[in-house]
Structure 1
Amino acid sequence: MDLNCFCFFISGEAKEVFPGSLLWERPLSGENPLSLSGIHSEQTTKDTRITIGDYLVASARFLSKNDFLILKSGLNIVSNICVQTNQISNIAIFLEKHGAFYHPLKIQVVFHGNCTGSFVLNGAVSKPGLSLIGNEYQLIASLNKSHSKSYLPKAFGVDFIKTDKGRIGFFLGEWFEGFKEFHVTKDQGEKQIVIWESDGTCHYISQTSALPIYKEISRILTYYYDIETFKQIFSWHHAAGDFIVRPEQGKIHVRLITIRGYGCLTPFHIEEKDKKVHILPALLFFFLTLTLRMRLDRFNGTGKTAILGKQVLNSTIEGFLFALDEKSSAYDFGDLRSGFIEFFQQFNLEQIIDLLENLLESCHPDSSETTVIKANIESHGQFLYSIFKNS
């Protein structure tokens, strides 16, 4: 394959990475998985694991396959220009980070001499990642098609590249320009929210200033919740960087960049004759799960489990109820906001806490999260109960 139009970079490294260079030969993942902070660690033995170079070459093969078909499809959509192969002059590939399932790459394309287009290329080499990537591509494409508004990236194509070290799966998606990952952190012993800038610097804001972020996340997840089938996006996690943000002139824009699953998580059977009977119980199940997961993160994304302050619950409720108002006009079930509030108010405090504890058992979070949730579940339930009691 001709690599002349490609150039390769690793985020945090100033210079281009070439075949044969030290970084090119580093293992991409394995017993000593790379992280951006540990990318210079020494490799002492030759092995057959996929290297950074293997991965970058495979990404170039994916992009150039079938005369750049998938890439040109993406360029045509994002630029609204019909791009021909001979108009693509340069493709820069940046290895951005290493996640639990994917190793995302940023793709920057120069075409027509001076036009540029940016994409994300998610790639998977592990068995869990390979089993997820095709399904995720289909889920994103399906939800983008079925919803009038989208908070997900456009998906342009998926394929698998065979190498002598195994298969690598890729799908090309929209790059959300200016959006950043965020996490809870500790600064001088106080919890704050850190927004990571693309140049490696950090922007710190208080939990109070970050409340609009959590309100918008709650609204987006409720927007994608299906009132009739009880299907929802799951599982999502702040620690995984699933949501990204872009502050702009006093307003917070939020996007969801991944979907690991979309289905019904409630114990209710969906039958037309009693669908209305289960709408509010299923919605309560979704809401309580939402409130628990909204408060969970890991310090700086990879540290110990952290739980956000209870003020996040007010924002979660606001986003949830706002989305119910939007859904009331789309479904023939009356005023969903009022109906849900009245339904919630039928439960006493002990029942709310029991429901939360049952949810904790059924959701199977990891042990560190379970410990944190159990320590806060009673106060969590009391806070929810007091909010709805005074509604």
Structure 2
Amino acid sequence: MRWPPKSWKSCNPIARPDLLRPEQHPAASLFVPGGAAIDIRYRITGYDGFVQPGHPLWQKSLPSMNRAARLSASADGATSKVITHAEYFEAVRAYLTGAGRSHIQQALAAHFPQNETLFEPARMDVVLEKHGEFYHPARIDILIYERSISLVLNVAVTPAGGDCMASEVAALGRVAPRLPPGTIPMVYGHAEVPGPSNLTMPMFLADWFNGFHEFHLSINPRDGRQGMVVWDTQDRPFYLSEQQQADVHRQVAFLLTRAYDPDTTDQVYPWHHAAGDFIVRISDASVVLRLITVRQYAPTLGGGDKGLDDEARLMALLVFFLNLTLRNRIDRLDGTGDMAWAGSRAVAATVRGAIEALSMALKRKLVDFLNSYDVSELMNVLRMVADRYALMPMEKDLIRAHLASHGEQLAAALQAVRHNP
């Protein structure tokens, strides 16, 4: 097959209008708006106490969009309005007491499947967690039956954020059936809430994974070497062992490869370690990973399963796999600093995770296909994949600086797979 294939599709994010329908619980007929008033309180992560009218932050604006979001908004011919914390929390309240009531009922039904009555939470705490490129997510802590249930409400305050949300809600619904249960958020509902100055604020409610935290490459102050830090917000940040780091990379590769559809060539892309797309929980030294965002789920090769023969599908799998080995090594130091490149152990871990996720038949096909390339041919394909998938100039520079050694390490990892399939 000629390289690169003509059907190779651009991987820029797109907006999809086909929104996911919320999951329906058997007792869905009971989930109707109404019921007693709920005590709703507001907090901001990093600040003590509750935020309310009169608080110094109440009329302060949310942190500005980053440059990429501003450029996206400008490209759409849209202007971005400054949103205050008050306007944000009031819009969230409007959702929780309006369209969100039925979504909350569905979420609580998932946590209490034996209960077929209308749930009446005693209290909700809205915790503004962070300010991302497209969303300002809030954790919703719901007190019910003397238990606290946590959900996430993703809120978009810009046109670019709204477009991203439309794509993501649809993508989450398509990816979820391919992954092990509980490894990706369940979407319970989405709605558009009127905001200030005729602004529309799209929101969607999904699972929050308690005990999971962001992780990033970081310079360990104890020895000055690069490691991987976990942002444990309940306790304190801590660094993973080398084996734990390898297990993180293995599980990232496993989940993304399980999500990959070999028939349509649909893949989760783009994704970024720097954006915190994956979160981790360390329990008794074991590593558990979750994928918490899916910006887009689209074919690697244009046209999906239409017009693709087996050779084209195998080529698409190769492209996906090689790009995965590169992207799994890319991060920013501490999430926002300089571009960073994971150590060599990430390569073997990525190969192992991807191979584990494939069916036996597909695993044999991919390994045999890889065996048909010598090292120089593999390097040529790697260069083409790197050039095609690099999302920004800094990534291209980083990959080019490490591509030769990466190719050698990848060849060694593949050799190990051949000897121990």
Higher relative CO (Cα under 8 Å, sequence separation at least 6) belongs to 2
Q: Deviations for 1:316-373, whole angstroms, at most 9, x for unmatched residues?
A: 001011111xx23xxxxxx222221121011112211111111122114211111110
Paired residue for 1:277? 311
Aligned to 1:230: 265
Counterpart for residue 43 of structure 2: 9
Give the CA deviation at 1:49. Answer: 1.6
Does the residue aligned with 1:28 lie in a helix, a strand or coil? Answer: coil
Which of 122, 133, 142 is the aligned partner of 2:174? 142
Secondary structure in 2 aligned to 1:369? helix
Aligned to 2:414: 388
Pick from 26, 50, 53 the counterpart of residue 60 of structure 2.
Answer: 26
Aligned counterparts, 1:286-305, within 5 A: 286-305=320-339
Deviates more, 1:276-285 or 1:254-263: 276-285
The offset of 1:146, in angstroms, is 5.8
How far, CA to CA, are the matches of 1:147 and 1:293 in structure 2? 20
8 Å CA contact retained: 2:263, 2:313? yes
Query: Which aligned segments of 4 or more residues in structure 1 are displaced greater than 6 angstroms?
Result: none
Instruction: Assess if the C-alpha contact under 8 Å between 1:219 and 1:322 holds in 2.
Output: yes
Q: Point out where structure 2 has 5 or more consecutive residues left out of the alignment.
A: 1-35, 68-79
Measured in 1, the distance between the counterparts of 2:99 and 2:123 equals: 17
Alignment partner for residue 90 of structure 2, among 31, 42, 57?
57
Q: d(CA) in 2 for partners of 1:48 and 1:146?
A: 38
Q: How does 1:329-340 map to 2 (within 5 A)?
A: 335-340=361-366
Superposition pairs of residues 1-391 of structure 1, within 5 angstroms = 5-30=39-64, 49-66=82-99, 68-80=101-113, 81-82=115-116, 84=118, 87-112=120-145, 114-145=146-177, 149-165=181-197, 166-188=199-221, 189-199=224-234, 201-266=236-301, 270-271=305-306, 275-324=309-358, 327-328=359-360, 335-390=361-416, 391=418
**Structure 1 residue 73: deviation in Å?**
1.6
Contact 2:264 / 2:304 at 8 angstroms: preserved in 1?
A: no
Matched residue count: 366
Instruction: Give the superposition deviation at 1:25.
Output: 1.1
What TM-score does the superposition give when structure 2 sets the normalisation length? Answer: 0.82
Amino acid at match of 2:371: Q
Question: 1:76, 1:83 within 8 Å by CA — same for their partners in 2?
Answer: no
The unaligned stretches of length 5 or more in structure 1 are 34-46, 329-334
How far apart are 1:309 and its partner, in Å? 0.8
**What is the Cα-based RMSD across aligned positions, in Å?**
2.3
Q: Separation in 2 of the partners of 1:373 and 1:196?
A: 26
C-alpha change, 1:372 and 1:364, in structure 2 (3 Å) is: closer
Higher strand share: 1
Who is 1:36 aligned against? none
Q: Which amino acid aligns with 2:51?
A: V
CA distance in 2, matches of 1:321, 1:111: 43
Deviation at 1:196, TM superposition (A): 0.8
What secondary structure sits across from 1:239 in the alignment? coil
| Residues 366-375 or 192-201, more deviating | 192-201
Structure 2 counterpart of 1:331 = none
TM-score by length of 1: 0.88
| Identical aligned residues as a percent | 29
Output the amino acid matched with 2:264.
T
Matches of 1:353 and 1:216, distance apart in 2: 25
8 Å contact kept, 1:130–1:169: yes
Q: CA deviation at 1:279?
A: 2.9
